[in-house]
Amino acid sequence: MAENSDNDYWEANLGLIKICLVIWALVSFGFGIVLRPLLSGISVGGTDLGFWFAQQGSILVFLALIFFYAWRMNKLDRDYGVEE
C-alpha cells in the first residue's frame, strides 16, 4: 500500500513540474519569441508586449511559478504525509 502511495505522490509531483515547465516555456519562448510579431502592437510600459515578455514577463512568471510550486508541494506533502 505504501508503494502505491509513493507512486501516486511522485506522479502528482511530476505532473506539477510538467505544468510549471509548460507555462514557463509558453511565456518565455512562446510570447517572447514566437508570438512577438503578433504582440508588437500592444504597448506596455512604453514598449511592445512581446519585448516586455522577453525581458520582464518571463522573469516575473518564473518567480510566480517558484512560489506556486513551493505552495503546491507543501500541500501535496501534507496530503501524502511526507511533510518535514
Long-range contacts from 62-69, C-beta under 8 angstroms, 24+ separation: 62/24, 62/28, 65/20, 65/23, 65/24, 68/20, 69/16, 69/17, 69/20
* The pLDDT of residue 47: 83
* The pLDDT of residue 37: 84
Number of H helices, E strands in the chain: 4, 2
Q: Do the beta carbons of residue 46 and residue 72 sit within 8 Å?
A: no
Domain of 38, in residue numbers: 2-80
> Is the pLDDT higher at 31 or at 23?
23
* The pLDDT of residue 67: 97
Total structural domains in the chain? 1
CA 46 vs CA 18, 60, 78: distances in Å = 34, 18, 45
* The pLDDT of residue 2: 61
Instruction: Encode pLDDT of 25-83 as tens digits.
Output: 898 888 778 888 888 888 877 888 888 877 888 889 999 999 999 999 999 999 998 87
